[in-house]
Amino acid sequence: MARERATRERWGSRTGFILSAVGSAIGLGNIWRFPGVAYENGGGAFMVPYLIALTTAGIPLLIMEFAIGRKYRGSAPLAFRRVNRNLEAVGWWQVAICIVIAVYYAAIIAWAGWYAFFSLSQAWGEDPTTFLMVDFLQAGDDLYEFGAWLPGLAAALFVVWAATLAVIGAGVKKGIETTSKIFIPLLVVMFGALVVQALTLDGAVEGLNAFFSPDWEMVREPGVWLAAYGQIFFSLSVGFGIMITYASYLGRKSDITTSAWTVGMSNSFTEVLAGIAVFAVLGFFTVQTGVPIADQEYQGVGLAFIAFPAIINTLPYLPGLFGLLFFGSLVVAGWASLVSVVQVPVAAFEDRFGWGRVKATAVVGGGMAVASIALFPAVNGLMLLDVTDYFINNYGIAVAAPVSIVAVVWVLWRWKALRDDANATSVFKVGPIWLVCLGVITPIALAVILFFNVRDLLKAGADSSAAVYHHYQAFGWAVVGGAFAFGVVMALLLRNRETPMESQVDVLDEVEEEAGR
Amino acid sequence: MSASAITMMVISIVVIGGGLLVSAVALMRNPEEPEDD
């Protein structure tokens, strides 16, 4: 095997890495998922299980992924292969999950981009629901009915993908890091202005009261704890190879654990601010119309594309600016996350096939762009997005993550090597508590969430919230099973293939040293 | 706003914002060492 030092890209600075990781973690879920989840699960009292979940599962898993990425210097498949050759399948499984997610996630960013433009003139008119479902998306209710293909949506998707691939093609330092250094501060400014404007509205206090009033009885309910662990888990960009890939571009002496705390806390701080902004606005709407907050759309697509347009219509001043700030924040937060999701498969093909960055971006990223632009501007796009999102999150990421933890921590007993490697260069040291959180609490929490999700899905009646997923199970399981099968097949095909990136002297020396221990 | 809601809002902001501040300050006090490779 060649022993020359291969040149792996590097972050230009720690700040650049942290901003990029924060940009990945902060996504649509922070803005449109957390506020509703907290409100439904005890309001202010939800913060207790939420903070416990952050410190006992989110940050410990983030530390593991940062440590794996930096120590084994590879995108998910290569890093896992270096942990143990049999684990490469887990890395490719995560790559497949990223491919699926990127293909639909880009569509939401394209919608938000259009809505930022629409908000300047409140083009949605007096009935935002009809505008969204009939005029804008022409949304059908059958997953298998492709229907018309909408050129306006396709054009916006093309712009999203062109920008994403341009950034990734420019490289980690010149592309991702430079963009993060511009857009994450921009997101802070836009989001900060949004929070300030929301707080000046009549009724904001009523909204905050609804959001933060604690219902301590609910903290005794297991479902609330599962919601807290689920929120932390799905909002931190952990479990599908992103943080491993980003950390693989760190230098040998970078701080791992304190960086993980900074990223985790930034993500949660944004969620709390989003809760304040969203509920201040919902409180305003209650005062204006008399519709109680509980009866409003306060989550997901309904919150962003139906409730917010209706609220913007009633704003006393600068409605266009408010819409621009809100949808602009969605676009920037979502896009920074999309870049990180697409980087995972691109880096995987670079590492394992020895492709150059431009070729990997063009072939892998370009392929994803074509699939995305072909599939999602169709009238079944919303349904396709919803069903795919449900299955790949709940049965893709939530299975791949505990598998990787159990394999690395318990089967291969690599937690000590990762601990020593992280502690050697980090201010905040980890030890047995980290092992308990990572190796015991996190996989158990994920397994319990998985159990309840499967139970709800299989038992879902016609009026249940999971009914639509129950109806499209065949499609959903095909996506989930396809991602897993892709992982296994790729790992088998590449089992005996060694690529230039595998010959990095520094990594090889350590891996060989460990193997000899 | 009720007293309990204000308390939870303040606690949430102080604990999470404070945690962010402490971790960011810890990083800044330990500047990056130049890499030799």
SS3 for A186-242 is HHHHHHHHHHHHHHCCCCHHHHHHHHHCCCHHHHHCHHHHHHHHHHHHHHCCCCCCH
Across the interface, whether the CB atoms of B1 and A506 are under 8 A apart is answered no
Residue A274 has pLDDT above 60, yes or no: yes
Over range A427-455, report the average pLDDT. Answer: 95
* Confidence at A510, pLDDT banded by 50, 70, 90: low
Contacts of A215 by beta carbon, 8 Å cutoff, 6+ apart: A42, A43, A45
From CA A223, how far away is CA A221, in angstroms rounded?
5
Task: Give chain A positions within 8 Å (CB) of B35.
Answer: 10, 251-253
Q: Which has the minimum average pLDDT: A44-53, A57-66, A151-160, A219-228?
A: A219-228
> Pick the residue with more confidence: A254 or A509?
A254
Instruction: Report the candidate in A22, A31, A89, A1 with the shortest Cα–Cα distance to residue A327.
Output: A31
Contacts of A485 by beta carbon, 8 Å cutoff, 6+ apart: none
At residue A298, what are phi and psi to the nearest 5 degrees? -120, 15
**Selected residues 1-37 of chain B with any CB under 8 Å from a CB in chain A:** 1-2, 4-9, 11-13, 15-17, 19-20, 23-24, 26-27, 29-30, 32-33, 35, 37
**A73-100 tens-digit pLDDT:** 999 999 999 999 999 999 999 999 999 9
* Confidence at A5, pLDDT banded by 50, 70, 90: very low
Res A465: pLDDT: 78
* Confidence at A511, pLDDT banded by 50, 70, 90: low
Residue A423 has pLDDT above 90, yes or no: yes
Instruction: Report the candidate in A290, A339, A255 with the shortest Cα–Cα distance to residue A26.
Output: A339
Over range A102-128, report the average pLDDT. Answer: 96
**Selected residues 63-82 of chain A with any CB under 8 Å from a CB in chain B:** none
A13: contact with B, CB 8 A cutoff: yes
Q: Which has the minimum average pLDDT: A46-60, A173-187, B21-35?
A: B21-35
For residue B35, give the DSSP letter. Answer: P
Q: What angle do CA A215, A217, A222 make, to 5 degrees?
A: 110
Instruction: Report the candidate in A300, A369, A242 with the shortest Cα–Cα distance to residue A108.
Output: A300
Q: Report the run of H or E that residue A90 belongs to, with start and end.
A: helix A88-119
> Pick the residue with more confidence: A434 or A497?
A434
Res B1: pLDDT: 87
Q: Which has the minimum average pLDDT: A368-382, A431-445, A455-469?
A: A455-469
Q: Which has the minimum average pLDDT: A366-380, A412-426, A448-462?
A: A448-462
By CB atoms closer than 10 A (0-12, 13-18, 19+), residue A433 is exposed
Over range A501-513, report the average pLDDT. Answer: 52
The residue written with tokens 């399948």 in the block is A89
Q: How far is CA A211 from CA A49, A202, A254, A294, A370, in A?
A: 16, 16, 39, 11, 41
**A199-220 tens-digit pLDDT:** 999 999 999 999 999 999 999 9
Residue of A nearest to B19 (CA): A265
For residue A316, give the DSSP letter. Answer: S
CA torsion sign for A271, A274, A279, A282 is: negative
Which of A14, A208, A254 lies nearest to residue B1, judging by beta carbons?
A: A208
Over range A280-298, report the average pLDDT. Answer: 94
Minimal Cα–Cα distance from A284 to chain B, Å? Answer: 14
> Pick the residue with more confidence: A499 or A478?
A478
Task: Give chain A positions within 8 Å (CB) of B23.
Answer: 258, 261-262, 265, 428
Residue A513 has pLDDT above 60, yes or no: no
Could you give the dihedral angle defined by the CA atoms of residues A38, A342, A410 and A60, in that order, rounded to the nearest 10 degrees? -40
Contacts of A396 by beta carbon, 8 Å cutoff, 6+ apart: A97, A100, A240, A479, A480, A483, A484
Over range A380-400, report the average pLDDT. Answer: 93
Residue A507 has pLDDT above 80, yes or no: no
From CA A111, how far away is CA A160, in angstroms rounded?
10
Please count the residues of chain B.
Answer: 37
Contact A164, A344 (CB under 8 A): no
Residue A2 has pLDDT above 50, yes or no: no
Res A148: pLDDT: 85
Res A501: pLDDT: 58
Instruction: Report the candidate in A245, A269, A231 with the shortest Cα–Cα distance to residue A29.
Output: A231
Residue of B nearest to A211 (CA): B5
From CA A80, how far away is CA A495, in angstroms rounded?
12
For residue A240, give the DSSP letter. Answer: S
Token pair of A136 as six digits? 């804008």
Res A166: pLDDT: 98
* Confidence at A1, pLDDT banded by 50, 70, 90: very low
Residue of B nearest to A250 (CA): B35
By CB atoms closer than 10 A (0-12, 13-18, 19+), residue A245 is buried
Contacts of A465 by beta carbon, 8 Å cutoff, 6+ apart: none
Res A497: pLDDT: 85
For chain A, the 3-state helix, strand and coil shares in percent, each to the nearest 5, are 80, 0, 20
Over range A52-70, report the average pLDDT. Answer: 97
Contact A231, A41 (CB under 8 A): no
* Confidence at A266, pLDDT banded by 50, 70, 90: very high
- For chain A, what percent of residues have pLDDT higher than 70? 95
* Confidence at A462, pLDDT banded by 50, 70, 90: low
Over range A110-134, report the average pLDDT. Answer: 96
From CA A278, how far away is CA A308, in angstroms rounded?
9
CA torsion sign for A195, A196, A197, A198 is: positive
Residue A129 has pLDDT above 90, yes or no: yes
**A131-146 tens-digit pLDDT:** 999 999 998 888 888 8
Q: How far is CA A230 from CA A28, A35, A110, in A?
A: 15, 14, 26
From CA A476, how far away is CA B26, in angstroms rounded?
44
- For chain A, what percent of residues have pLDDT higher than 90? 87
Contact A315, A322 (CB under 8 A): yes
Residue A160 has pLDDT above 80, yes or no: yes
ipTM of the complex: 0.95
The SS3 of residue B33 is coil
A255: contact with B, CB 8 A cutoff: yes
Encoded amino acid at A111, one letter:
W
From CA A189, how far away is CA A507, in angstroms rounded?
40
Size of interface A-B (CB pairs under 8 A): 86
Residue A508 has pLDDT above 60, yes or no: no
Res A516: pLDDT: 44
Res A147: pLDDT: 82
**Chain-wide mean pLDDT for chain A?**
92
